[in-house]
C-alpha cells in the first residue's frame, strides 16, 4: 500500500504543572513559565487556594519549619499563594510568550478570582472532586473544565462527572511519587470506553518519563506532569517533579510518539524512503 493512506496525528495537549513549586517567588514562577514555553508545552499551570478555607482547623496553628523561619502552617500556606494582581501579571506574561496560563482551583474564592482573570480553562484537583458543589460552581464559571481522578472510587468519579460534566477526565494516582506497579495505566482505556465524547488524559506523579510516554498509545490526549527548576528545592512536590531537561525530553517524546502512531491498523504501507532501500538491498528477480 502506498503513502496515499495518509495518517492523522492525534494532538496531545501538554500541561506543565508548576503547582506550588514556585514557593511563592514570582521570578522563579516566571522562569518555570519560560521553561514550559521553551520546551513546547501547551499550558502552564499553578494552584490557587484560599488557605483560610482550605487548611483544616486542626492544622492552622501547628508550627512548621520553613525557608522563611518557624511559623504556623496557615502562615506558611499563605506564603505560597499569589494574589489577584500577581496572577494577572503571570497570565499576561504567559500570553506574551505564547503559552496558555491556567490554574487548579481549590475553593469557590479561587474559582471567582481565576474566572475574573481568564475563564477559558481550569482544573479541579483530585483532592476536591468529591466536593460536588465546588465542581458544579467551577463548571458554571469556566468554558473548559478538567478533573483528575486520584484517590477516588469509580462511584465518586461518576458523581463528579454527573455534577459538572467535565470536558477532560484525567487518570491519576495521587501517590507522590507513585510506584510503577500502581500506575494502572490501562485505566485510561477504561475511561475512554466508558466516557465516550470526553477527552481522556493522564496526570503523572511517577519518577521518570517512560511510563508517561506509554499513555499516548493507550489514548491519552492530555498529559500533565509537575515541573521544577531543581528537585532539591524546598517543597513537598519537588522530588516527584520533572526538571528542565526532563521536560524537554517529555515534550519531544510525546510529539515523536504521536507522529509514529498516526496510522490506523491496516495493510503494510510502503514509504518512498523504504522503496529506495528496497531498490538497493533486495536482489532483483532473475529473468
pTM here? 0.95
Q: What percent of the chain has pLDDT over 70?
A: 98
The answer to whether residues 31 and 235 touch, using CB atoms and an 8 Å cutoff, is no
Total residues found in the chain within this entry: 287
Average pLDDT of every residue of the chain: 96
Q: What is the pLDDT of residues 225-270, one digit of tens each?
A: 999 999 999 988 998 899 999 999 999 999 999 999 999 999 999 9
Give DSSP secondary structure letters for 146-175: EEE-TT--HHHHHHHHHHH--SEEEEE---
SS3 content of the chain, % helix, strand, coil (to 5): 45, 20, 35
Could you check whether the bond before residue 96 is cis, i.e. omega within 30 degrees of 0?
no
What is the rounded distance in angstroms from the CA atom of residue 48 to the CA atom of residue 81?
7
Per residue in 83-126, pLDDT (tens digit) is: 999 999 999 999 999 999 999 999 999 999 999 999 999 999 99
Place of cell 503513502: 3
Query: Residue 4 has what pLDDT?
Result: 54
Neighbours of 172 (CB within 10 A): 24
Write down the pLDDT at residue 1. Answer: 47
pLDDT score for 164: 98
Task: Give the domain 13-274 fold.
Answer: TIM Barrel (3.20.20)
Domain parsing of the chain, residue ranges: 13-274
d(CA 189, CA 160): 19
Q: What are phi and psi of 34, to 5 degrees?
A: -60, -40
* pLDDT one-digit tens code per residue, 114-165: 999 999 999 999 999 999 999 999 999 999 999 999 999 999 999 999 999 9
3-state secondary structure 114-136: HHHHCCCEEEECHHHCCCHHHHH
Amino acid at each position: 500500500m502506498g503513502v496515499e493512506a495518509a495518517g492523522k496525528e492525534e494532538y496531545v495537549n501538554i500541561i506543565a504543572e508548576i503547582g506550588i513549586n514556585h514557593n511563592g517567588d514570582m521570578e522563579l514562577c516566571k522562569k518555570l513559565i519560560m521553561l514550559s514555553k521553551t520546551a513546547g508545552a501547551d499550558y502552564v499551570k499553578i494552584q490557587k487556594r484560599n488557605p483560610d478555607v482550605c487548611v483544616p482547623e486542626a492544622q492552622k496553628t501547628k508550627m512548621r519549619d520553613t525557608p522563611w523561619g518557624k511559623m504556623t502552617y496557615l502562615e506558611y500556606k499563605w506564603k505560597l499563594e499569589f494574589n489577584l494582581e500577581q496572577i494577572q501579571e503571570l497570565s499576561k506574561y504567559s500570553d506574551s510568550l505564547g503559552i496558555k496560563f491556567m490554574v487548579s482551583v481549590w475553593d469557590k474564592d479561587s474559582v471567582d478570582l481565576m474566572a475574573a482573570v481568564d475563564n477559558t480553562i481550569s482544573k479541579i484537583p483530585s483532592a476536591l472532586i468529591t466536593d460536588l458543589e465546588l465542581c458544579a460552581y467551577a463548571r458554571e464559571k469556566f468554558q473548559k473544565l478538567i478533573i483528575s481522578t486520584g484517590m477516588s472510587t469509580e462511584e465518586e468519579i461518576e458523581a463528579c462527572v454527573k455534577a459538572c460534566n467535565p470536558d477532560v477526565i484525567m487518570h491519576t494516582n495521587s501517590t507522590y511519587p507513585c510506584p510503577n506497579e500502581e500506575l494502572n495505566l490501562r485505566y485510561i482505556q477504561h475511561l475512554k470506553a466508558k466516557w465516550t465524547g470526553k477527552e481522556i488524559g493522564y496526570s503523572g506523579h511517577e519518577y521518570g518519563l517512560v511510563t508517561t510516554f506509554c499513555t499516548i498509545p493507550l489514548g491519552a490526549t492530555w498529559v500533565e506532569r509537575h515541573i521544577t527548576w531543581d528537585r532539591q528545592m524546598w517543597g513537598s512536590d519537588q522530588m516527584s517533579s520533572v526538571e528542565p531537561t526532563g521536560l524537554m525530553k517529555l515534550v519531544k517524546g510525546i510529539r515523536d510518539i504521536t507522529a509514529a502512531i498516526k496510522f490506523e491498523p491496516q495493510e503494510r504501507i510502503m514509504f518512498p524512503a523504504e522503496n529506495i532501500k528496497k531498490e538497493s538491498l533486495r536482489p532483483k528477480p532473475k529473468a
